[in-house]
Amino acid sequence: MGLTFNNIHSSVYGLGTKITRPLLPGNSDNYIDIPGRAGSILYTGKPKDRLISVEFGFMPGSRELFRAKVWEISAWLNTDDRKILIFDDEPDKYYMAKVEGQIDLEQVFVLGKFSVIFRCEPLAYGAEQSVNFVNDSITINNQGTFESQPVFTSTFTTTEAEWKVTDPNSNYIRVINSFQVDDILEINTATGAIYINGIRALDKLDWQNSRFFSLRVGESTLTISPAGACTTRVSWIPKYL
């Protein structure tokens, strides 16, 4: 089994791999011991970065090829930012990863071995999903194992004074504006960005009552109001813990 990192598959360098992936990345939980109290108090934290260990091996045909291969591999693994990491047995999911720490190379004649720690964001990601609202309502099936943040894009077909989307728990995002026909409203709940016709419009948010909700795992029914005001598309990226 191999992997793709930084848009290049490990087989390009003739690398064999042994991969160790954690079942869970761990949490930054805190436990506080109180004198006179049995047990501790748990303050639940967020998932930590996921550390994935990979052992690589390669064997070029000569010492000259060996050293050339070493420089190619080092250039491949050296990145400024996190890059997409995909394993062959799960091509439909990816991690955002960067190499952690120093890499030591063990060489015996033309046989090379080294281990890499990829420091990844806690969650794995699937391909972006998107669907259109029908009659101002939609039931979404989030097939990930972790909540996802939706992105809404609405094109107005009538003039309206506001726009609102509501989730199953009655949380809603409400934007107050003098919308005209063909105006385009974009809301990204992951970043908190709101655009109207490509211009930032966070000041139009009913911030006192609105809540940027997430899509829970499984089915969620969302509704748009006022009815018949716009055509809306929602997109999200499934996430896996």
- Where along the chain do its domains lie? 3-125, 129-240
Question: Which residue's entry shows tokens 């939609």?
Answer: 138
Cβ distance 127 to 143 under 8 Å?
no
pLDDT at 209: 96
Tokens at residue 68, please? 């050339």
Alpha-carbon gap, residue 239 to 241, rounded angstroms = 7
Tokens at residue 200, please? 């930032």
Q: Over the stretch 146-161, which tens digit does the pLDDT of each residue have?
A: 999 999 999 999 999 9
Burial bucket for residue 152 (CB in 10 Å: 0-12, 13-18, 19+): buried
Burial bucket for residue 189 (CB in 10 Å: 0-12, 13-18, 19+): buried
DSSP state of 207: T
Domains 3-125 and 129-240 share a fold: no
Cβ distance 89 to 208 under 8 Å?
no
Q: Over the stretch 158-184, which tens digit does the pLDDT of each residue have?
A: 999 999 999 999 999 999 999 999 999
Burial bucket for residue 184 (CB in 10 Å: 0-12, 13-18, 19+): middle
pLDDT at 1: 85
Question: What is each CA distance from 4 to 102, 189, 212, in whole angstroms?
Answer: 20, 30, 34
- Report which of 76, 96, 73, 98 is spatially closest to residue 86, judged by C-alpha positions: 96
Q: Over the stretch 90-144, which tens digit does the pLDDT of each residue have?
A: 999 999 999 999 999 998 888 999 999 999 999 999 999 999 999 999 999 999 9
- Report which of 175, 173, 172, 177 is spatially closest to residue 160, judged by C-alpha positions: 177
pTM for the complete prediction?
A: 0.87
CATH code: domain 3-125 is 2.40.30.200
Alpha-carbon gap, residue 54 to 119, rounded angstroms = 11
Q: Over the stretch 43-70, which tens digit does the pLDDT of each residue have?
A: 999 999 999 999 999 999 888 899 999 9
CATH code: domain 129-240 is 2.60.120.860
List Cβ neighbours of 80 (8 Å cut-off, separation of 6 or more).
none
In this structure, which amino acid lies at residue 41?
I
